[in-house]
Structure 1
Amino acid sequence: MTVHETDALAKTTRINMLFDFYAQLLTEKQQTFLKYYFHDDYSLGEIAAEFDISRQAVYEHVKRAEAVLENCESKLNLLAKHESAERWLNRLDELAERLADHGDIRAELQAIAHGLRGEGLVGT
């Protein structure tokens, strides 16, 4: 995989995750175009043909929507908080696994991690 492909994949992943947190703050058209472009991997030309508008108009909608998502994240940090919580939960899981000889503590740590994920406080 080239550096360009790796960067494109990282960007797509980030936009999709931001979309999960902030989609409701976008217009319906922005949501649709982002879904087509980042989730369904349509080209700008394919989206333009689907909606009978110019490729440039699609590009502008997508760029504006990306800016809204990044602006929301810069103010609310929901994705950053989610990723941080996931890192902590993964550390908790790792610690629980290392405590194989202490079944009661291990089970309790696993229950805590499972509970946090189950309560919707952190995604999986």
Structure 2
Amino acid sequence: MSQENRLEKTNRINLLFDFYEQLLTEKQQMFLKYYFHDDFSLGEIAAEFEISRQAVYEHIKRAEQVLEQYEDKLGLLRKHAQRVQDLEKLRELVNASEMAQDQKISINKMVDHLEAWE
């Protein structure tokens, strides 16, 4: 896997983890945190938990699958990405409009508030 693909996968897993962490088992949470957040190697995790690297790999792969299954069913990451895109488009439309500057500022503050909820 190329460095760019690995980074994309890591970013996706971290985002999915942000949305679905509480739906994972404690062990799944722990292994994903060590591997994706803290950048531990499989060997380091295996040593920490006194299990084989293969067992760590299987736990991580299973947790990744579970995250993807939750996303397939619930779509929280997809919906989040769509909201971010829609808010950016709204901001662009407001700023390109001919409305008064104070109205633009007011609407942009509302968009800022909505983005803060993300």
Q: TM-score scaled by structure 2?
A: 0.91
| SS at structure 2 position matched to 1:94 | helix
| Match status 1:50 vs 2:48 | yes
**Corresponding residue of 2:100:** 102
Unpaired segments ≥5 residues, structure 2:
none
Q: Could you tell me which amino acid in structure 2 is paired with residue 82 of structure 1?
A: H
| SS at structure 2 position matched to 1:42 | coil
Q: TM-score scaled by structure 1?
A: 0.87
**Corresponding residue of 1:19:** 17
Measured in 1, the distance between the counterparts of 2:103 and 2:93 equals: 10
Post-superposition, which runs of at least 4 consecutive aligned residues in structure 1 deviate over 6 A? Answer: none
1:100 and 1:106 in contact (8 A); partners too = no
| SS at structure 1 position matched to 2:2 | helix
Residues 62 and 96 (structure 1), Cα distance of their counterparts in 2 relative to 1, 3 Å cut: same
Counterpart of 1:93 (choices 91, 96, 109) is 91
Q: Could you tell me which amino acid in structure 1 is paired with residue 62 of structure 2?
A: R
Identity among equivalent pairs (%)? 56
2:84 and 2:115 in contact (8 A); partners too = no
